[in-house]
Structure formats: C-alpha cells, structure tokens
Structure 1
Amino acid sequence: MKKIKRFLAKVHSSRRRSSQHHAPPALSLALSSTSSWITEADSADGVCTSILEQLPFEMRHQILLAVDTIDDLNALVHASPTYHQQYRLGRAFWLWRSLWLDMGPVLIDAYTANLGMTLNSRPERNYNQRTASRSFITSYHLRRSTTAEALFASASTEEIINIAAFYSSTIRPLLPQYVAWTRNNLGALSMPDQLSKTERTRIVRGMYRFQIFCNVFSNTKYGQSEKMELFLGAYDPWEIEELICIERFASFKFQSALDEVEKDLHPDDSRFDIDRWGPFTPDGSFNPYDKELYQNGMVALGLAHLCATLKVQDHSELVDFISESLVLRETDSIYETIEHCGRERDRAGRVSDRDRAQYRRDKMPFVGDRIDSPPLAWVTIWREEYSNLICRAIPKLLHDWGYVMWDADRLVDSGALAVFEKEWNEWYLDQFDEFEDPRASDPIISQ
C-alpha cells in the first residue's frame, strides 16, 4: 500500500497548508496496516469517524486507483463501508484492474483457465468435446495477443469475480507451498526470502497454464502429438519447462498424499468388507499396483483439487477425502506427452523452426529478468545459444528446483547456477556410459 501512503501523506500535507480555520485530525504518517489507518476515534463526541471516508468521491477514487493488489483491495473494501459502496459501483473494473496489476499479461491465462472450468461439463445433447476444446484452444492463442482493455470488454462481471475467486482461493495459497517445496529441495534458493515480481509471475503463469492443460485434456481423448501441436507447441521451450516444474510439484504432493493413506485404502482393509464383492476393487480403495495411475488421475483434476488436498491436516480426514476423490486415469502427463513427441519427431525426421534455430546455434543472450525472455538459468545452461531441448533433456532435479522460475540475483548470489551445472554433468554421466552433453552436439540438417 505504499502508493496509498504516499498519496495520503500528500493530501494531508496539502489540506493542512490550505486550512485557515480548523485543522483536520492528525493522521500518522507511519501507516503500518490497513486497520491502523482506516478509522480514528473522535474524542469530542466518541463517534468513530474515518478520515479517508470523509474525502470527496474523486479523492477516494484516486485511493482505489493506488491499490495494486487483490489483497489490499479486499482489505480496504472490507474495512470501510464507504469504500465498499464505491467499489460496488464498478466492481468488475476494480477487480480486473487489481488482477492486472498483480499478474500483468498472465491475466490472459487466468481468464482462459476460468473459461475452461466448464469445458467438459456442458449438458447439451449435441455438445462435442473435441470440437469445443479445439475451438477453445484456438481462441486462447488468438487471445494471447490481445490487450487488457479488449479482454476486459469481453469479460462479464461474473467471469471476473470467478477469476478473482480462483486466484485468491487456489493460486495464492499454492504459491508459498510451491516456493517452500523448491527450497526444501535446494536450500540455496531460500535467499532472499521474498520473491521478486518476475519470479512470482513466472510461477503463477506456470500454474495457470498447467490448469488450462488439465481443463482441456483431462477428459477429452487426444493423442500426445495433438496435445503438443494444439497447445504445448505454442510456448517457448523455457515456458514449457515452467509447466513441467509445476506438474512435478503437483505430482509429488499427490504421491505423498497417496503414500500416507495407502494402508488405509488398501482393498484388503477391513473398512471395505461390507462393500467387497468378487475380485473387484471396492469403491474408495486403490490397489498399490495402480497407484501411479491414481496419481495421474488426481494430478489431472487440477490445482483446486491439489489446494484442497494440501489443506487437509488430519489423517482420518485425509483418508476420507482421498477415498472420495480417487480417479484412475491412464492419461499422459505433460512430461510424458513431450517425451513421446520428442521420440516420434526424431524417428520421423520432422524439424521445426525452433529446431532450426537450435541447429544454427542462434545466439540467445540474457537480456534481464523479464517474463517475455528466457531466465538466466536457461540461458546459462545452454551457453547463450538457442535450444529447443526440453523435458527428458533436462535433469529431473532441476525441475524439482524450479530452475526456470528464479531471477538472476538469486541464482548468482546463492551459487545455485553452479549447483545446476554440477547436477547437469552428474546426470548425463549417470545416464550414459560416456558423457554425452547435448550442448556439445553439432547436428547437421538440410535447410
């Protein structure tokens, strides 16, 4: 709320200088929290008055404009009836503006993820999921080049409220969980403690795009090549790596949950005696041999289900929750999809423009911590040359460390870049009898 604090200090100073009769009640410039400056007791009549609420409409409008996060907007409108009333007059605008300031262009992904929530649950008799999902993806790719103003004009108030609700209830709670998981995997990433704007945006972008993948492909039959062609292939390689990092996080958390309840939900457990019939697995239980399929099924349910799972702390409640939400699904993960497509492409000899850029060894220098350019880890690993090698070409530990999420200062100051390089060398030595670093290969193709 620093902008509000500066604005209030300026307004208070101006009003104090221009007042010729009675000065307004003193307003502390050391504003530590919303609750400390929203109201102030009037000692004359004991009535609680609000300095901010006494401001003219136009000044209150400027204060609302200074709010740049959804959390601060929520705090302000819940603390002040006057600001809540003014917020309600243009709720869609204020929510959208706060979301845009919080997420930037990632709001396009958030908007698309919200539209996709009902993609596979349409009741119409003649509804064709494949046709609808293809149209949905096409619209998404076109939408990525639109402006915030154009997108806002096409969004309904209900859609904007739903976007804000999902962001607050799912994305925001998962963000610190993801950061803690990566830091537990590699402690060097813990300093500095606070995320930068760019780091936060990369993680949130990966989460929303992972959610879009779940929305589109969890219930609709698509081959791996179709998934790559329709959706994943539109992203830059380091952006696909963001999705893989998020998927690794979700997969690990669901695996941990299944491990914790495995004995309780074993088909032979006595709790299922009443439901047992024949050789079939009772509803609500799972066979350990199929645990990976159940894990894939839970991952495909998306981030809201992951967030709900992580909120359950009591063991017996977790047993019941997992039992009720078990889904056995032979669905391909993002990682498996890309791995299959890579092998298929190699066999067929297909070459994309990105492959050609890699073969030409096009230069790709680090241009700063920006969400529209590759992060330092990616540029350093590939030695400032373009690469289209992802997924299986990257050591899995790097995905567990969220290597493409972090800014240059964190990586340099913590020594994480050296750790990445060490793991890279050890992983390739372990994978092959002789060290075969893909960065040293020099493929020749016909142009």
Structure 2
Amino acid sequence: MSSIMDTHHVKQQLKSLVEDLPPELRRHILSFLPLSDLRNFVRASPYYHAQYREDRLYILRSSLYNTLSNVTIDAFAVHCSRSRKFIEARTPARVVKYLRDYRSLQLLDVSARMTEDNAIQMVGCYFRAIRPAIRQYVRYTAAKLNESIGVSPACGSTKLSSTEETRVVRGLYRLQLYSHLFSVGPHNGLGSGFITKDREAHLLGSSLFFADSEPWEVEEFWCVYLFAKTTYDEMLEYFRPEINRKLEPVTELLRYHHPQLSPTLSDLDGWYLREIVVDAYISRGLQMMSSIRNFLDDTGDLAAIKYRLLSHHGIGVNISYRSKLMQRLRYDKHPCEKDYLSAARDPLPFEGDSETRPSSAWTLTWSGTYSNLYGEYIPNKLREWGYVMWDEARIKDTGADKLLSSQLQAEWKGVDPRSRRR
C-alpha cells in the first residue's frame, strides 16, 4: 500500500515540477510534440491548456510539422483547395496556376501564410480524416499481405515506423488534393467533376500534378487510390438498385453526348459508369470513405451510410484512364529528364529507408535502376498490400520480397515494361 502511495506522490511531484516551469519553457515543450501527444498533454493539464491557448498558432504550426514533416505542404494545399468557392471556380488555367504555386511552396512559405484558423482546420482534418484512414489502410493492407503469403491474419506488426507513416500520409493527402483539383470534391450539389472539352488542358493539369513527384511517390498515391476504390466497389454492392435509379438522368445525358460509350453506361456493371461514379465518391473525402470502411468492418451504421451514398453521388473523372493517357502523351511527345533516366536505367540502389528516397520494394521492382513508369505499368496485386509503403525490415521479415518477385514475374513474364517503351 505504501509503495502505491509513494509512486503516486512521485508522480504528483513530477507533475508539479513540469507545470511550475516558466511560460517560455512550457511553450517550448508544447512546440516539440506531435499532434496526438499535444492533444493529450493539453487535455491533462490546465496550465498547459492555458499556455496552448496563449500561443495557439505557433504551437499548432510546430506540431503539424512534427507530425507531418514535409507533407505539411500537401496538407496546406489540401486545406486551401477545399472550399466550395475554389472548386466552383476551377478552370484549366486556374488549376495549372494553383499546381505551379503548390509545387513552388517551401515549408517557410507555408509557415508564413498559415493563419490560426488554417492551423485549427488542418488539425481537425488530420484527426477526423487522416488518422482513421491510416489505421484502416494499414489494417487492410496487412490482411492482404498475410493472405497473399498464406499466414494467419493476426501475424505481423501494424505499428508503423516514421518513414512508413510519412509515405501513407503523403499518399492520402495527395489523393485528396487531386480530388479537389480535378473531380467532384467534398461539397454536395456539385454533381460532376471538373470537365473541359479540351483534353490536352485536362491532361496538362494531371501531368503537372505528378510532374515534380518522384515515381515511387506517385505509386503511394495509386496504392491509396486502390484502397479507396476497393472500399467503394464493395459498398456499391449493398445499394446497387437505389444508386442505379439515382443515376438514370445522368446516364441518359452521357449516352446522348457519348453514344460510343452506351454499352458501358447501362448500370453499375458497365465499367465506364462504375469508374466515374466510384471516382466521384472517392473525391468526397477521406472522412466519408472511413465511415464506409467502418461499416464494411462491421462497426458502422447502415442507415447513415445509405443516406450519404444516395445523397452524395456524382460523376467523376476516371482517374485511371486519364493517367494512362497522360503518361503516354508525356512519353511520346514531351519526355522529361526522368523519362531519359528511366530509358537509360540509371542506377538507383536502395540506400536505407528515408522520406525522400525510394523504398526497398520500389528498388526491388526495378532491379536497383531508375524507372519513371507507374500506374498502369504496375500490377494492382502489388498495390493491394501497399508495396511501396513499407520499410526494408518489414519487407524482409514478412517474406514480401519473395511475394513481390513472384507477382511481377506472373504479370510481366520476365519482360521489363521499360523495354516496351523504347
């Protein structure tokens, strides 16, 4: 009994010492915490809560960087492009300008431009949408990996390293940003994606979106996209008749303007209609996707999910098809430096896990050489278990390196797809 009391006394003394620190030291301590720890700390102590309220912008800005590192830039771009006003005013020229501004952003620029309201909303987005999506993504891909290598679903740790979490978070934010710039977006009442008759303008926007990202970062995007698409594909089976009825006016209009697509627009079994409907749902945001994933995992409310699906339908942009066109157009007409490095198969060995370097699985995929191919050139079987997201230790410990080799052999039949692009 006395031992318990002694321990409690020591804890109280430590708490008193921490809370009695000068304000500038309390501020300094809070500025070094990631968001989850900051939230717990501020909730646990009225002294630190008061300090947080006094210096909220500085502390939140610091904590966002402590949590997101360089992905803070992507989070800021997502926040700034989310408003209904921005999405309704999109034109090819405005989207291109926004992308160029986004690509030129540095962390110091974000820090200077971020207001307290920006910071509060970005933190809210992180806790409401990003954190749940991380957990769901890791759980889903771990199950897929275990299924593929034939081990118990409970095997393997789902605790992420800092580099693994950065890769997943970067993919999540960039999927959301793409949706804000090119698809329906998060606001109800905007029934279709950003559509222009100028296909070249559309492809230029898509090309710029990926232009400054390394190809393995683009694959992070596609891994997260496949997870979101699978989530909605599974969900649509529950409400197929109701959604088909909701889509009848839209499909009639599409048949009128694109008669060549009529066979693919009959209902959700038609590949084209399904693709653009699912892309529209994905663009509604990670929070909606997470609630649907919860239902699929037996923890969500069916009635609430049905209401959201039937009231938030729309027509998206078929991201996969556009990516194919964009890559082919770039490679055939406007090759970039990365394409030349890819054609030359410049050496790119694995140099350890880092936020800015390729993961072990990426270098294994391309035998330690540079490749600027992604999207259609990579088998979806690899993306199902999130191949580019994981550190070398996880890849080796789980036997995922052998799985990757066998899946590539089955898809590529021993022929490097870069050979077909020569």
Asked if 1:159 corresponds to 2:142, the answer is no
Match of residue 244, structure 1, among 205, 212, 222:
222
Match of residue 100, structure 1, among 65, 70, 90:
65
Partner of 1:412: 396
- TM-score, with structure 1 as normaliser: 0.76
Asked if 1:297 corresponds to 2:280, the answer is yes
Deviates more, 1:183-192 or 1:130-139: 183-192
Task: Tell me, yes or no, if the aligned pair for 1:113 and 1:208 is still in contact at 8 Å.
Answer: yes
1:62–1:292 Cα change, 3 Å: closer
1:357–1:38 Cα change, 3 Å: same
Between the aligned partners of 2:179 and 2:70, the Cα distance in structure 1 is 20
Partner of 1:61: 27
Asked if 1:180 corresponds to 2:166, the answer is no
Between the aligned partners of 2:108 and 2:10, the Cα distance in structure 1 is 37
Q: Cα RMSD over matched residues?
A: 3.0
The CA deviation string for residues 133-182 of structure 1, in whole angstroms up to 9 with x for no partner, is 22211110110xx2x34421211111111111101110011001001111
1:443–1:397 Cα change, 3 Å: closer
Match of residue 258, structure 1, among 211, 219, 236:
236
* Greater fraction of residues in helix: 2
Between the aligned partners of 1:322 and 1:75, the Cα distance in structure 2 is 34
Partner of 1:375: 359
Deviates more, 1:364-373 or 1:52-61: 52-61
Task: Tell me, yes or no, if the aligned pair for 1:309 and 1:321 is still in contact at 8 Å.
Answer: no
Q: Please tell me the residue identity of whatever aligns with 1:131.
A: A
Task: Tell me, yes or no, if the aligned pair for 1:361 and 1:385 is still in contact at 8 Å.
Answer: yes
Task: Tell me, yes or no, if the aligned pair for 1:237 and 1:388 is still in contact at 8 Å.
Answer: yes
Task: Tell me, yes or no, if the aligned pair for 1:119 and 1:132 is still in contact at 8 Å.
Answer: no
Partner of 1:47: none
Between the aligned partners of 1:202 and 1:82, the Cα distance in structure 2 is 35
Between the aligned partners of 1:169 and 1:112, the Cα distance in structure 2 is 17
Deviates more, 1:239-248 or 1:388-397: 388-397
Structure 1 regions of 5+ residues with no counterpart?
1-24, 29-35, 40-49, 430-434
Task: Tell me, yes or no, if the aligned pair for 2:75 and 2:173 is still in contact at 8 Å.
Answer: yes
Asked if 1:231 corresponds to 2:216, the answer is no
Q: What does residue range 21-420 of structure 1 map to in structure 2 within 5 Å? A: 26-28=9-11, 50=16, 52-66=18-32, 68-118=33-83, 120-121=85-86, 129-143=91-105, 146=106, 148-187=107-146, 191-218=156-183, 219-221=193-195, 223=199, 224-263=202-241, 265=243, 267=245, 287-289=267-269, 290-312=273-295, 313-329=300-316, 331-333=317-319, 335-345=320-330, 348=332, 350-420=334-404
1:356–1:119 Cα change, 3 Å: farther
Between the aligned partners of 1:122 and 1:296, the Cα distance in structure 2 is 16
Task: Tell me, yes or no, if the aligned pair for 2:31 and 2:58 is still in contact at 8 Å.
Answer: no
Between the aligned partners of 1:161 and 1:37, the Cα distance in structure 2 is 33
1:153–1:342 Cα change, 3 Å: closer
1:38–1:64 Cα change, 3 Å: farther
Between the aligned partners of 2:71 and 2:342, the Cα distance in structure 1 is 27
Between the aligned partners of 2:415 and 2:325, the Cα distance in structure 1 is 21
Q: Secondary structure at the match of 2:404?
A: helix
The CA deviation string for residues 96-151 of structure 1, in whole angstroms up to 9 with x for no partner, is 1111111111101101110010265478xxx56333322211110110xx2x3442
Task: Tell me, yes or no, if the aligned pair for 2:361 and 2:388 is still in contact at 8 Å.
Answer: yes
- TM-score, with structure 2 as normaliser: 0.81
Large movers: runs of 4+ above 6 Å: 36-39
Partner of 2:417: 438
Pairs aligned (count): 377
Between the aligned partners of 1:64 and 1:294, the Cα distance in structure 2 is 44
Structure 2 regions of 5+ residues with no counterpart?
1-7, 184-192, 254-265
Q: Secondary structure at the match of 2:19?
A: coil
Q: Please tell me the residue identity of whatever aligns with 2:131.
A: R
The CA deviation string for residues 3-60 of structure 1, in whole angstroms up to 9 with x for no partner, is xxxxxxxxxxxxxxxxxxxxxx9424xxxxxxx9996xxxxxxxxxx55433433443
